[in-house]
Amino acid sequence: MSKQSSLKSEKTLTSQLGYRISNWLWRRKTPTTASGIPEKEVDVRDDTPGTPSISFFQLFKYSTPFELLLNVIGVIAAAAAGSAQPLMSIVFGRLTQDFVNFTRASKMQPPDERMIQEAAADFRRTAAVNATYLVYIGKSMNRMLPI
Can you give the residue ranges of every domain in the chain?
Answer: 84-147
The reported pLDDT for the residue numbered 58 is 87
The reported pLDDT for the residue numbered 59 is 86
CB atoms < 10 A from the CB of 145, how many? 10
Instruction: Write the single-letter amino acid at 79.
Output: A
d(CA 95, CA 132): 11
Give the torsion sign (CA, 108, 112, 114, 120).
positive
The reported pLDDT for the residue numbered 35 is 64
Burial class from Cβ neighbours inside 10 Å (0-12, 13-18, 19+) for residue 87 reads: middle
Phi, psi of 32, deg, nearest 5: -125, 155
Stated pTM of the model: 0.48
The reported pLDDT for the residue numbered 108 is 81
Phi, psi of 146, deg, nearest 5: -70, 120
Task: List, for the chain, all residue ranges whose pLDDT scores fall below the cut of 50.
Answer: none
Cα separation values, 57 from 3, 44, 63, 79, Å: 75, 26, 11, 19
